[in-house]
């Protein structure tokens, strides 16, 4: 340690990637020489997939709404590793399943990533062979900065974002909390829904009732409540906001599409869900951001106006105190603003100019 307290997102790999300074565009120029095929030339598909993986492992800044200063960092994914499927890579990067599979194998051979296949229980539905991708930050540093002995790192401090240890060196740092994904072959998987409220809020119940009736079940309600609580914690949202947003989504589709095309509450609550058309969760977040920015701008405008009014009153009180002690200033003030008789406009203007000129020379700005 260099005397500074370093903070963290709670994930060692995310922390390591966050302290690296990447130069150039999304694909660092060094990769064209360090990530190559056995035959000849760079491995463009492997680089594209690696760039996507690195993006998800790079932490997101958390800024103070009032000052705009960086006050924390958080990771983009929920589990201890990034969850990806070949189908997702195929859809998002425009490659085939076989190309994605072969490229990931080549990245594994280079020691950059490691695939881990898990059995995951999602709200009562068991999914087998779910692929997670682990990124090796040390190996990433080697292929990204091959000619540099010591890569400059950032010491930008962050505040605690999640309820498990974030400060490097703290007891428990790097441990995976019990409410996050686990490998079932080593330890029994524990759902985050173990800690769900026994009595959901009225806003959740209202949103649940807005969902098409044929899609409601005890299992789907539990899954929806889990996603509901995750979104609240992840983005600092309120029950009211989630209820209003989902009800707005349903109301825009009712009467225009068949109920089977209306997403369930749990599906709608998932960020970056490409199947949600129209008023998605991401659109609702963006609208909330615009409203908050407008509210902050309006609050700042009122603050400036109130400060200007306070400054004006202080100047007037100071000027009045100065006039009370300066006979000449009081005489010029009375001639300009309290004349004993009606005077022509030209003379009044001349008297005001004389008063302001005198005050400017002897008192300051009035």
Top-confidence residue, 3 or 306 = 306
CA distance 290 to 167: 32
SS3 of residue 302 by DSSP = helix
Cβ pair 70, 63 in contact under 8 A: yes
Bridge-partner residues for 167, per DSSP? 7
CA distance 358 to 319: 12
H-helix segments, 195-280: 202-210, 218-235, 239-253, 265-268
pLDDT in tens, 62-76: 776 677 677 777 787
Structure tokens at 209: 């009732």
Bridge-partner residues for 41, per DSSP? none
Structure tokens at 89: 């890579």
Residue with tokens 């949600």: 276
Q: Is 0.75 surpassed by the pTM of this model?
A: no
In a 10 Å sphere around its CB, with 0-12 CB exposed, 13-18 middle and 19+ buried, how is residue 133 labelled? Answer: buried
pLDDT in tens, 99-157: 888 889 889 888 999 998 888 776 556 677 788 999 999 889 888 887 765 444 554 44
């Amino acid at each position: 340690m260099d005397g500074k307290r370093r903070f963290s997102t709670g994930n060692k790999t995310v922390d390591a990637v966050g302290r690296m300074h990447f130069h150039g565009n999304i694909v660092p120029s060094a990769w064209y020489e360090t990530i190559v095929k056995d035959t000849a030339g760079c491995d463009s598909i492997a680089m594209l997939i690696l760039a996507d993986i690195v993006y998800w492992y790079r932490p997101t800044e958390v800024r103070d709404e009032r000052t705009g200063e960086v006050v924390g960092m958080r990771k983009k994914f929920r589990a201890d590793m990034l969850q990806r499927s070949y189908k997702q890579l195929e859809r998002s990067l425009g490659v085939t399943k076989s190309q994605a599979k072969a490229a990931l194998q080549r990245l594994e051979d280079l020691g950059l990533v490691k695939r881990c296949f898990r059995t995951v229980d999602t709200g009562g539905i068991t999914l087998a062979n779910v692929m997670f991708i682990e990124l090796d930050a040390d190996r990433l540093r080697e292929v990204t900065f091959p000619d540099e002995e010591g890569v400059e790192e950032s010491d930008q401090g962050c505040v605690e974002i999640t309820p498990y240890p974030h400060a490097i060196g703290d007891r428990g740092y790097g441990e995976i909390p019990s409410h996050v994904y686990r490998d079932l072959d080593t330890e029994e998987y524990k759902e985050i829904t173990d800690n769900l409220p026994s009595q959901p809020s009225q806003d959740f119940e209202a949103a649940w009732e807005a969902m098409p009736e044929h899609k409601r079940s005890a299992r789907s309600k539990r899954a929806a409540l889990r996603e509901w609580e995750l979104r609240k914690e992840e983005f600092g949202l309120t029950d009211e906001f989630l209820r209003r947003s989902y009800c707005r989504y349903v109301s825009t589709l009712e009467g225009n599409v068949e109920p089977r095309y209306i997403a369930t509450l749990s599906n709608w609550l998932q960020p970056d869900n490409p199947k949600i058309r129209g008023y998605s969760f991401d659109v609702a977040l963006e609208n909330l951001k615009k409203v908050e920015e407008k509210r902050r701008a309006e609050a700042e405008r009122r603050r400036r106006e109130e400060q200007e009014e306070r400054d004006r009153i202080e100047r007037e009180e100071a000027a009045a105190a100065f006039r009370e002690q300066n006979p000449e200033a009081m005489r010029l003030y009375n001639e300009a603003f309290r004349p004993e008789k009606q005077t022509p406009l030209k003379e009044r203007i001349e008297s005001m100019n004389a008063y302001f000129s005198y005050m400017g020379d002897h008192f300051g700005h009035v």
